[in-house]
Amino acid sequence: MEIKEGTKDEFFNELLQKLEQMTNWDGRKLVKYQGFWFPLNYLRPLLSAQKHFKANDSDIILSTLPKSGTTWLKALVFSIANRSIYPNIDQSPLLTSNPHKLVPFIEFDLYWNEENPDLTHIPSPRIFSTHIPLNALPNCILESSECKIIYICRNPLDQFISHYYFVLQNFVSKDAAPLELDEAFDMFCQGVPGPVLEHMLAYWNAHLENPRKVLFLKYEDLKDNIGFNVKKIAEFLGFPFSLEEEEQGLIDEISRVCSFGNLKNLEVNKNGYVMDGLLKNSSYFRKGEVGDWTNYLTPAMAERMKKLMEIKFQGSGLMFNI
């Protein structure tokens, strides 16, 4: 949908009136746009990005659902893509800046306060991240033959639990109180916010259609073998590790610096905030485990999600072990 010039507020309000709205389990207002439930205050930056973002062929877009490994992926891709600038990993900016400061979100950082920011001064390769579903991405990202997308997702049960506790840490005192866990889970299974399974499936299909353009990663696979995945990301980006780099142990070094244990314990990530002081740096590093959902959700809840996945992912080849 196009934003008309000159009447932005009028157009925005008119559009808003036509869209379905509801309250999320975290107490925030949601609006349904292009098939997905977005936080209401996300809509304006999304529309601005759809209208103004210009993709460069060398751009790297990290696309994720919230709480799926975004912070980790930002740290890894930043380190891989900038390793010629910071050959000594112990001088990496990651040691003094939260990964979200180094890799901005398209919708939260670039377009949150500005309708059309100048992004031309950012050196190549520009690395941006987003939670925007594939069908709502600025068209130019998909149309550019060279610009790369890396998607990471996670077992939806762990993603839900991670999200729930992230909200409790960050919003509970400022916004309305979230619903109880079981009510929130019920909404989650009904596709609110999200629907997350559709978000994953669209990127999965795009990866199958064009694996050179879209790399599809799972959090669990990175936990299982980070070195293999660091190598895979570098190859996908067209910056493969040389034999010399491998022999020097650079893959292991990058994996170590970006590891949960290392990032969580850095002073910069224990203190401070991102997103205009809204979100605590420390809240991005909770447990970093696979299967933490078993501590909070019943087998019946897990079974419900498993059935949903079987239906939604049927025939696609996408699945998560529960």
Query: Which residues sit at the interface with ligand A3P, rule CB under 6 A?
Result: 64, 66-72, 75, 158, 162, 165, 258-260, 263, 284-288, 292
Task: Work out how close the CB of 269 gets to ligand A3P at its nearest, in angstroms, rounded to a whole number.
Answer: 9
- Helices 250-257 and 226-237, axial angle in degrees (round to 10): 110
Closest CB to ligand A3P among residues 50, 63: 63
Closest CB to ligand A3P among residues 55, 257: 257
Phi, psi (degrees; rounded to nearest 5) at 169: -75, -35
* Pick from 68, 65, 75, 133: nearest CA to 100: 75
What is the SS3 assignment for 201? helix
Q: Which residues does 111 contact at the CB level (< 8 Å), separation at least 6? A: 45, 46, 48, 49, 52, 53, 117
Closest CB to ligand A3P among residues 69, 195: 69
Q: Which residue bears the tokens 């998607």?
A: 151
Closest CB to ligand A3P among residues 7, 271: 271
Task: Work out how close the CB of 263 gets to ligand A3P at its nearest, in angstroms, rounded to a whole number.
Answer: 5
Closest CB to ligand A3P among residues 115, 252: 252
Task: Work out how close the CB of 141 gets to ligand A3P at its nearest, in angstroms, rounded to a whole number.
Answer: 19
227-257: string of b/e by CB count within 10 Å (b at 16+)? Answer: eebbbbbbebbeeebeeebeeeebbebbbeb
Closest CB to ligand A3P among residues 64, 144: 64
Catalytic residue check, 131: yes
Task: Work out how close the CB of 130 gets to ligand A3P at its nearest, in angstroms, rounded to a whole number.
Answer: 12
Task: Work out how close the CB of 142 gets to ligand A3P at its nearest, in angstroms, rounded to a whole number.
Answer: 22
End-to-end CA distance of the chain: 38
Task: Work out how close the CB of 244 gets to ligand A3P at its nearest, in angstroms, rounded to a whole number.
Answer: 26
77-95: string of b/e by CB count within 10 Å (b at 16+)? Answer: bbbbbbbeeeeebeebebb
* Pick from 152, 153, 150, 134: nearest CA to 234: 150
Pick the catalytic residue from 131, 163, 199, 207: 131
Measure the CA angle with vertex 296, ends 290 and 298; round to 5°.
105
Helix boundaries (H) for 135-270:
139-143, 156-170, 181-189, 196-209, 219-224, 226-237, 243-247, 250-257, 260-264, 267-270
- What CA–CA distance (Å, rounded) separates 222 from 112? 31
Catalytic residue ranges: 131
